[in-house]
Amino acid sequence: MISRWITLTACVAVLGIVGCVGSDPNFATVEGNVTIDGQPAEGLEVTFEPESGRPAIGYTNAQGHYELQYTANQEGASLGKYRVRIDVPSGSETKARIPTRYNAKTELVAEVTPGQNELNFELTSKR
Protein backbone atom coordinates (compact mmCIF):
# COMPACT_ATOMS: atom_id res chain seq x y z
CA MET A 1 0.00 0.00 0.00
CA ILE A 2 2.78 2.47 0.91
CA SER A 3 4.68 1.68 -2.30
CA ARG A 4 1.56 2.57 -4.34
CA TRP A 5 1.39 5.98 -2.65
CA ILE A 6 5.07 6.57 -3.31
CA THR A 7 4.64 5.60 -6.96
CA LEU A 8 1.54 7.78 -7.32
CA THR A 9 3.27 10.75 -5.67
CA ALA A 10 6.31 10.35 -7.94
CA CYS A 11 4.10 10.20 -11.05
CA VAL A 12 2.21 13.35 -10.07
CA ALA A 13 5.49 15.17 -9.40
CA VAL A 14 6.95 14.15 -12.78
CA LEU A 15 3.77 15.20 -14.62
CA GLY A 16 3.82 18.55 -12.84
CA ILE A 17 7.40 19.21 -13.85
CA VAL A 18 6.90 18.09 -17.47
CA GLY A 19 3.72 20.15 -17.73
CA CYS A 20 5.58 23.29 -16.67
CA VAL A 21 8.31 23.16 -19.33
CA GLY A 22 7.76 26.01 -21.77
CA SER A 23 4.81 27.53 -19.91
CA ASP A 24 6.63 30.37 -18.11
CA PRO A 25 4.39 33.49 -18.17
CA ASN A 26 7.47 35.69 -18.69
CA PHE A 27 7.96 34.16 -22.15
CA ALA A 28 6.00 34.25 -25.39
CA THR A 29 6.22 32.43 -28.69
CA VAL A 30 7.85 34.37 -31.51
CA GLU A 31 7.82 33.41 -35.17
CA GLY A 32 7.66 35.14 -38.50
CA ASN A 33 9.09 35.42 -41.98
CA VAL A 34 12.19 37.06 -43.37
CA THR A 35 12.32 38.25 -46.96
CA ILE A 36 15.02 39.99 -48.96
CA ASP A 37 13.72 42.14 -51.82
CA GLY A 38 10.39 40.32 -51.52
CA GLN A 39 11.86 36.80 -51.74
CA PRO A 40 11.99 34.27 -48.85
CA ALA A 41 15.41 34.34 -47.17
CA GLU A 42 16.63 30.81 -46.39
CA GLY A 43 19.43 29.81 -44.01
CA LEU A 44 19.65 33.00 -41.96
CA GLU A 45 20.11 33.39 -38.22
CA VAL A 46 17.57 35.65 -36.51
CA THR A 47 18.78 36.87 -33.11
CA PHE A 48 16.69 38.86 -30.65
CA GLU A 49 19.09 40.64 -28.26
CA PRO A 50 17.66 42.16 -25.06
CA GLU A 51 19.33 45.09 -23.27
CA SER A 52 20.56 42.56 -20.73
CA GLY A 53 20.27 38.83 -20.50
CA ARG A 54 20.27 35.93 -22.88
CA PRO A 55 19.27 36.33 -26.56
CA ALA A 56 16.75 34.13 -28.35
CA ILE A 57 17.69 32.67 -31.73
CA GLY A 58 15.91 31.14 -34.72
CA TYR A 59 16.87 30.06 -38.24
CA THR A 60 14.96 30.63 -41.46
CA ASN A 61 13.82 27.67 -43.55
CA ALA A 62 13.29 27.53 -47.32
CA GLN A 63 10.15 29.67 -46.99
CA GLY A 64 11.97 32.29 -44.88
CA HIS A 65 10.07 31.20 -41.75
CA TYR A 66 11.74 31.25 -38.32
CA GLU A 67 10.73 30.34 -34.76
CA LEU A 68 12.71 31.65 -31.79
CA GLN A 69 14.17 29.35 -29.17
CA TYR A 70 15.44 30.67 -25.83
CA THR A 71 16.88 27.43 -24.44
CA ALA A 72 16.56 23.76 -25.30
CA ASN A 73 13.45 23.59 -23.08
CA GLN A 74 12.04 27.08 -23.60
CA GLU A 75 10.58 28.21 -26.91
CA GLY A 76 10.16 31.87 -27.82
CA ALA A 77 11.69 34.82 -26.01
CA SER A 78 11.22 36.68 -22.74
CA LEU A 79 8.85 39.63 -22.80
CA GLY A 80 10.36 43.00 -23.65
CA LYS A 81 12.15 45.10 -26.24
CA TYR A 82 14.92 43.78 -28.48
CA ARG A 83 17.49 44.72 -31.06
CA VAL A 84 17.13 42.23 -33.89
CA ARG A 85 20.09 40.98 -35.90
CA ILE A 86 19.65 38.96 -39.08
CA ASP A 87 22.74 37.46 -40.65
CA VAL A 88 24.30 34.41 -42.26
CA PRO A 89 25.39 31.98 -39.50
CA SER A 90 29.16 31.57 -39.19
CA GLY A 91 30.40 28.55 -41.11
CA SER A 92 27.29 28.54 -43.31
CA GLU A 93 27.45 27.99 -47.05
CA THR A 94 24.53 30.35 -47.62
CA LYS A 95 25.49 32.89 -50.25
CA ALA A 96 23.04 35.60 -49.20
CA ARG A 97 24.61 38.97 -48.50
CA ILE A 98 22.90 40.82 -45.70
CA PRO A 99 23.57 44.57 -45.35
CA THR A 100 25.16 45.58 -42.04
CA ARG A 101 22.09 47.70 -41.18
CA TYR A 102 20.39 44.36 -40.36
CA ASN A 103 23.21 42.79 -38.32
CA ALA A 104 26.45 44.44 -37.14
CA LYS A 105 24.84 47.92 -37.25
CA THR A 106 21.25 46.78 -36.95
CA GLU A 107 18.38 49.22 -37.26
CA LEU A 108 15.83 46.51 -36.48
CA VAL A 109 13.88 46.54 -33.22
CA ALA A 110 10.99 44.44 -31.94
CA GLU A 111 8.89 44.03 -28.84
CA VAL A 112 7.77 40.65 -27.52
CA THR A 113 4.38 40.81 -25.83
CA PRO A 114 2.41 38.09 -23.98
CA GLY A 115 0.93 35.34 -26.15
CA GLN A 116 1.87 34.56 -29.72
CA ASN A 117 3.98 37.08 -31.63
CA GLU A 118 4.29 37.10 -35.42
CA LEU A 119 7.16 39.41 -36.32
CA ASN A 120 8.06 39.62 -40.00
CA PHE A 121 11.13 41.33 -41.41
CA GLU A 122 11.17 42.64 -44.99
CA LEU A 123 14.79 43.37 -45.81
CA THR A 124 16.11 45.16 -48.87
CA SER A 125 19.53 44.65 -50.41
CA LYS A 126 19.74 48.33 -51.36
CA ARG A 127 19.44 51.36 -49.10
- Judge whether 18 lies within some domain: no
Return d(Cα 70, Cα 93) in angstroms, integer. 25
**Under 8 Å between Cβ of 57 and 45:** yes
Model pLDDT for residues 66-91, shown as the tens digit of each residue: 999 999 999 999 999 999 999 999 88
- Judge whether 65 lies within some domain: yes
Q: What is the pLDDT of residue 14?
A: 41
Q: What is the pLDDT of residue 127?
A: 65
Burial readout 75-101 (b: 16 or more C-beta within 10 A, e: otherwise): bbbbbbebebbbbbeeeeeeebebbee
Q: What is the pLDDT of residue 5?
A: 46
Cα-based torsion angle of the residue sequence 86, 62, 70, 98 in order, rounded to the nearest 10 degrees: -10
CATH at 116: 2.60.40.10
- Judge whether 109 lies within some domain: yes
- Judge whether 8 lies within some domain: no
Burial readout 9-30 (b: 16 or more C-beta within 10 A, e: otherwise): eeeeeeeeeeeeeeeeeebbeb
pTM: 0.80
**Under 8 Å between Cβ of 94 and 127:** no
Range of the domain at 68: 25-123
Looking at the structure of the chain, the number of domains it has is 1
- Judge whether 75 lies within some domain: yes
- Judge whether 11 lies within some domain: no
Q: Show the low-confidence residues of the chain (pLDDT under 50).
A: 3-21
**Amino acid symbol at 108:** L
- Judge whether 102 lies within some domain: yes
